[in-house]
């Protein structure tokens, strides 16, 4: 076969993809850190029987940033925000447990407040974490039969999140090289247009509407297994309609890839696994693929996080790999449903265009 037949085109999506996936020294280091973090999470959670392994492993991807300083700042604020959110959620449950007429409005209120704070605070992720964690923990109350089990579940979830964040920060501090530039922390807590730009309120309302619609849907049809719809509505929301739709596309593609890999693993690989070593090898291979994509540019990086998200959530349901294909189907459907609802709401209700934001 002639060499010209194998030559990649000089332009088009294939050349663009090859350029996006090109190796670099920083990318190799960050990929190795993400790979090591997920493998350590598997070993720690399986050995010590810490529940919610999927959450711990995903925290490695979610907290890791482009530099060790940014990762440390994100991890510290994330750990503080998660801890505060769980404390507030437990306090709220003293009023809302067993009272859906109080719990559901509280869910909507704290989610709206968190999304609004994520827009007006210079450290927006802190507001996002507070609103999201409290809302999602409140949404789990009706599926847990007793207050004692609920408290235990929330505390174990905090452990899974906290040690995943801490492990990520430590690995980045040890092995991530120093950045060439110096980052300066913000000098003010609020953005200049915090109380004058109505788009912040509209954004919070749209996210709350999408998430609560998803919640009412899967609660009304008694299909709690598609709770990933609620998570999707919150996580893909960005400032402009175009940015939200791009992020939704990356989430869709990433989750399809991660779901397909988990489906293949559950059908052909998991039934033959007898030791934790084989599980570690599988997780390492998939984590390396997801990490390589996640450490790329902003055009593809979010898809890498979603590959990891879908794979971890589908494969890990206890202290052993799960072979139930229904869980893979339910989670992928929930993601697609959340993408559709968010896309419709952001497109038709108070659309916020990128061109308008640049003019403003």
The predicted-structure confidence for 27-40, as pLDDT tens digits, reads as follows 999 999 999 999 99
The predicted-structure confidence for 185-217, as pLDDT tens digits, reads as follows 567 788 888 889 999 999 999 999 999 999 999
Cβ(227)–Cβ(334) below 8 Å: yes
Sign of the alpha-carbon torsion through 327, 217, 129, 305:
positive
Residue 240's pLDDT band (cuts 50, 70, 90): low
The pTM for the full model equals: 0.83
**Buried/exposed 211-236: b ≥16 CB within 10 Å, e otherwise:** bbbbbebbbeeeeeebbbbbbbbbbb
Residue 74's pLDDT band (cuts 50, 70, 90): confident
pLDDT at 185: 59
pLDDT at 203: 93
Name the one residue in this structure whose structure tokens are 């989750």.
255
pLDDT at 14: 85
Q: What is the mean pLDDT of the chain?
A: 86
| pLDDT beyond 90 at 41 | yes
pLDDT at 356: 52
| pLDDT beyond 50 at 9 | no
Cβ(308)–Cβ(57) below 8 Å: yes
CA 69, CA 48: separation in Å to the nearest integer? Answer: 30
Which of 280, 278, 310, 281 lies closest to 293 in space, CA to CA?
Answer: 310
pLDDT at 359: 44
The predicted-structure confidence for 112-170, as pLDDT tens digits, reads as follows 999 999 899 887 778 888 898 899 888 887 778 888 898 998 999 899 999 999 999 99
Percent of the chain with pLDDT over 90: 45
pLDDT at 184: 61
């Amino acid at each position: 076969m002639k060499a010209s037949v194998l030559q990649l085109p000089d332009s088009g999506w294939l050349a663009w993809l090859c350029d996006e996936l090109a190796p670099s020294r920083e990318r190799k280091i960050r990929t190795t850190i993400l790979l090591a973090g997920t493998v350590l999470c598997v070993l720690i959670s399986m050995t010590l029987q810490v529940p919610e392994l999927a959450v711990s492993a995903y925290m490695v991807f979610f907290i890791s940033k482009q530099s060790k300083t940014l990762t440390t700042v994100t991890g510290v604020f994330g750990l503080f925000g998660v801890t505060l959110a769980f404390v507030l959620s437990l306090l709220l449950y003293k009023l809302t447990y067993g009272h859906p007429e109080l719990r559901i409005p509280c869910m909507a209120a704290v989610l709206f407040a968190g999304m609004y704070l994520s827009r007006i605070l210079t450290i927006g992720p802190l507001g996002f974490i507070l609103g999201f964690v409290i809302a999602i923990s409140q949404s789990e109350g009706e599926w847990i039969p007793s207050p004692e089990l609920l408290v235990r579940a929330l505390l174990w979830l905090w452990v899974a999140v906290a040690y995943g964040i801490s492990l990520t920060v430590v690995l980045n501090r040890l092995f991530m090289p120093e950045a060439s530039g110096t980052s300066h922390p913000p000098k003010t807590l609020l953005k200049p247009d915090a109380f004058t730009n109505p788009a912040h309120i509209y954004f919070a309302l749209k996210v709350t509407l999408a998430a609560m619609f998803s919640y009412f849907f899967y609660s009304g049809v008694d299909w709690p297994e598609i709770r990933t719809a609620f998570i999707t509505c919150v996580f893909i929301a960005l400032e402009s309609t175009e940015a939200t739709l791009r992020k939704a596309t990356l989430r869709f593609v990433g989750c399809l890839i991660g779901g397909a890999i988990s489906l293949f693993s559950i059908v052909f690989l998991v039934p033959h696994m007898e030791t934790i070593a084989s599980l570690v090898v599988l997780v390492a291979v998939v984590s390396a693929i997801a990490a390589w994509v996640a450490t790329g540019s902003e055009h593809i990086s979010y898809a890498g996080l979603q590959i990891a998200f879908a794979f971890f959530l589908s494969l890990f349901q206890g202290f052993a790999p799960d072979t139930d294909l229904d869980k893979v189907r339910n989670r992928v459907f929930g993601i697609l449903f959340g993408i559709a609802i968010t896309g419709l709401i952001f497109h038709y209700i108070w659309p916020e265009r990128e061109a308008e934001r640049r003019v403003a």
